[in-house]
């Protein structure tokens, strides 16, 4: 036996005052009696009795003495060697995906999940501990293991669902990893069953338990949005939107398209059930701004009724033409998107001030200063191209590549070409002698190489030549992707390169006004998944800034069907865990003291007071 507070044993000195109370002479009341005959024997017995006989005959004193001894014993903190049983470890993994914000039932599925977890926390026993993990784009522990029910409940009440898809599988893996050393563990996933990765999680962890919340409901959603340059009018853009009705009956849906809050167009679209419908919107103008597509639905999930896209105004692209012939320069000059400057030789320092460099009759240098396009080069810096092949025949080409849009190269006659594979480059145009058009990276810059001189073919006499030039220059300068680079799907991580030096930071202002800060490491600022839909603003060193839009656009989250995961046969058996330790005797001692005090009160009432 050992004592946690042995100094408390000095309180045993309180026995002396307790005993002294029974030596004190009690002043008795004077009473007149008719005779002392019956009192002589009593007085004689008291005079002959030994002092300690009084204590042996006084049961109340013995009970009080024992209670005092037990109290001092308890205050000393006694304990003995033994085994301590651990309480259960319970982890709640709460689905925080966008579908949990659906009002099915009201107020939302997430509120139902929160109530489910709060009920479980209230049912924890004295030695049990709990932890709560919120499953969003990235799993987050909102309350680590604790036996404090109030702390757990406060963390649960503060949770909010995200506007993105969640990875419940990763969150379950995290919960399993954090409880691996706890034999008596329970992992409860509270979800509406929208995540298909749950089946894979059950394969890995068959002991997972599921609590399904919510009810199935029909829903209309925007499942895709894209902004592209118009194929017919280069200075204009087209907005592509995909709509879909999940469940329910087919019917009309109101669609509104606005630019910076000003209505551009509106229409009523007849949507069938469970089949996507694509819409294209033109006439967006050339001023640029924030496009918003809004659905008038009144369905349970508002997060997928709006989608945003940034419409960037047309920007002049500065193009440097090194060694270019007159026809090449004139073909580019007719497009208002490009400002063409001619040069006779390569100068990387000068090239760095341009958006694109075209090399014709001149080989690209080892370190180009900008993205480049080479027409019929003999080498890339110090790397020679393949040997010449005569009269190669075109066999195939990548029709979907932006550089090949509206280009039909099948019948091009080429007298001489350096057809062949450039290591690490992707061929876009194939021939029986090897690739004739390739794209890749050289000297840190993206490039496009035509393996033959246009002057040694009939390509220059074809309408396909200026179209090919404009396509290629637009793609290399980023004009082809105008507007889409600043539109992202909610839940996707965000990387920004070249915003500053290591140690500086980039600040992200989220749609709700809160801020996140990311330090620049290795030249890159990294942000986790964007868990809200709306407009984000990035601010970096030197006053650099950018705005981008995040949308839900997820068929998985917009489908509000509640589907339970397939159950698996459990293989792990939870065990009541115990560890070697010290068993405290404080509580048993206090219990005995309480029993003694009750017994003393009963004895006093029955024997001394009533007698």
pLDDT class of 38 with cuts at 50, 70, 90: low
Q: Give the residue extent of every domain in the chain.
A: 2-82+588-609, 89-212, 318-481, 493-548
On the question of pLDDT at 117 being above 50, the answer is yes
**CATH class of the structural domain 89-212:** alpha beta
pLDDT (0 to 100) of residue 85: 47
DSSP, res 39: T
Place of tokens 């068959």: 206
- Could you read off the pLDDT of 460-519 as tens digits, one per residue? 888 889 889 988 988 888 755 544 457 888 998 898 887 888 899 999 999 999 999 999
Beta carbons of 164 and 135 less than 8 angstroms apart:
no
Q: Which residues pair with 264 in a beta bridge?
A: none
Beta carbons of 520 and 506 less than 8 angstroms apart:
yes
CA dihedral 559, 564, 570, 573 (to 10 degrees): 90
Q: For the chain, give the mean pLDDT.
A: 84
pLDDT (0 to 100) of residue 183: 77
Please choose, from the candidates 191, 199, 167, the residue with its C-alpha nearest in 3D space to the C-alpha of residue 491: 167
Q: Percentage of residues in the chain with pLDDT exceeding 90?
A: 49
- Could you read off the pLDDT of 411-451 as tens digits, one per residue? 899 999 999 999 999 999 999 999 999 999 998 899 999 99
On the question of pLDDT at 571 being above 50, the answer is no
SS3 for 281-333, per residue?
Answer: ECCCCCCCEEEEEEEECCCCCHHHCEEEEEECCCCCEEEEEECCCHHHHHHHH
Give counts: helices (H), strands (E), the chain. Answer: 13, 34
pLDDT class of 132 with cuts at 50, 70, 90: very high
On the question of pLDDT at 314 being above 80, the answer is no
The whole-angstrom separation of Cα 171 and Cα 468 is 49
Is the domain spanning 318-481 CATH 3.40.50.2300? The answer is: no
Query: What ranges make up the beta strands (E) of 344-407?
Result: 356-360, 372-375, 379-380, 383-384, 389-390, 394-397
- Residue predicted with more confidence, 75 or 137: 137
pLDDT (0 to 100) of residue 516: 93
The whole-angstrom separation of Cα 158 and Cα 562 is 25
The whole-angstrom separation of Cα 94 and Cα 168 is 8
Mean pLDDT for the stretch of residues 374-389: 93
- Could you read off the pLDDT of 22-35 as tens digits, one per residue? 665 555 567 777 77
On the question of pLDDT at 574 being above 60, the answer is no
For 193, residues 6+ apart whose C-beta sits below 8 A from its C-beta are 210, 212, 562, 563, 564, 565
- Could you read off the pLDDT of 173-205 as tens digits, one per residue? 999 999 988 878 899 999 998 888 888 888 888
pLDDT (0 to 100) of residue 577: 43
């Amino acid at each position: 036996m050992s004592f946690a507070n042995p100094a408390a044993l000095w309180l045993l000195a309180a026995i002396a005052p307790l005993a002294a109370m029974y030596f004190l002479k009690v002043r008795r009341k004077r009473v007149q009696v008719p005779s002392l005959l019956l009192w002589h024997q009593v007085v004689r017995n008291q005079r002959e009795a030994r002092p300690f006989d009084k204590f042996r005959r006084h049961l109340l004193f013995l009970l009080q003495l024992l209670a005092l001894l037990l109290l001092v014993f308890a205050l000393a903190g006694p304990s003995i060697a033994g085994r301590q049983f651990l309480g259960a470890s319970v982890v709640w993994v709460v689905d925080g995906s966008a579908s949990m914000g659906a009002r099915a039932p009201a107020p939302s599925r997430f509120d139902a999940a929160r109530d489910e977890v709060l009920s479980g926390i209230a049912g924890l026993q004295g030695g049990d501990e709990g932890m709560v993990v919120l499953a969003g784009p990235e799993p987050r522990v909102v309350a680590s293991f604790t036996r404090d029910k109030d702390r757990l409940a406060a963390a649960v009440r503060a949770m909010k669902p995200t506007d993105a898809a969640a990875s419940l599988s990763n969150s379950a893996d995290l919960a399993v990893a954090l409880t691996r050393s706890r034999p008596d563990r329970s992992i409860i996933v509270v979800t509406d069953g929208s995540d298909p990765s749950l089946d894979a999680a059950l394969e890995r962890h068959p002991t997972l338990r599921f609590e399904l919340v919510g009810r199935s409901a029909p829903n209309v959603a925007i499942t895709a949005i894209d902004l592209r340059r118009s194929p017919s009018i280069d200075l204009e853009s087209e907005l592509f939107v995909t709509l879909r009705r999940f469940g329910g009956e087919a019917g009309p849906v109101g669609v509104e398209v606005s630019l910076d809050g000003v209505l551009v167009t509106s229409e009523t679209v007849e949507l069938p059930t469970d089949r996507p419908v694509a819409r294209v919107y033109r006439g967006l103008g050339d001023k640029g701004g924030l496009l918003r597509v809004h659905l008038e639905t009144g369905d349970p999930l508002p997060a997928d009724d709006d989608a945003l896209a940034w419409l960037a105004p047309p920007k002049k692209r500065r193009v440097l033409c090194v060694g270019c012939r007159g026809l090449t320069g004139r073909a580019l000059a007719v497009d208002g998107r490009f400002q063409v400057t001619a040069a006779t030789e390569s100068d990387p320092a000068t090239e760095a001030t341009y958006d694109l460099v075209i090399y014709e009759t001149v080989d690209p240098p080892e370190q180009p200063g900008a993205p480049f396009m080479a027409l019929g080069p003999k080498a890339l810096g110090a790397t020679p191209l393949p040997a010449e092949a005569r009269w190669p025949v075109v066999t195939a080409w990548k029709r979907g590549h932006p550089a090949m849009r509206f280009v039909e190269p099948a019948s091009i006659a080429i007298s001489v070409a350096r057809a062949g594979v450039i290591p690490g480059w992707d061929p876009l145009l194939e021939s029986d002698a090897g690739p004739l058009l390739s794209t890749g990276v050289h000297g840190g810059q993206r490039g496009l190489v035509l393996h033959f001189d246009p002057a040694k073919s009939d390509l220059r006499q074809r309408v396909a030549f200026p179209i090919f030039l404009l396509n290629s220059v637009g793609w290399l300068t980023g004009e082809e992707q105008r507007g889409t680079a600043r539109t992202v799907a909610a839940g996707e991580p965000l990387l920004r390169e070249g915003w500053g030096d290591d140690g500086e930071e980039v600040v992200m202002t989220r749609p709700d006004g809160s801020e996140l800060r990311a330090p620049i490491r290795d030249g890159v600022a990294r942000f986790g998944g964007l868990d809200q839909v709306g407009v984000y603003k990035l601010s970096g060193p030197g006053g650099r800034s950018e705005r981008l839009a995040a949308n839900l656009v997820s068929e998985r989250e917009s489908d509000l069907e509640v589907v339970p995961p397939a159950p698996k046969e459990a293989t792990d058996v939870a065990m009541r865990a115990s560890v070697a330790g010290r068993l405290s005797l404080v509580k048993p001692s206090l219990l005995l003291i309480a029993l003694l005090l009750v017994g003393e009160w009963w004895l006093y009432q029955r024997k001394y007071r009533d007698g």
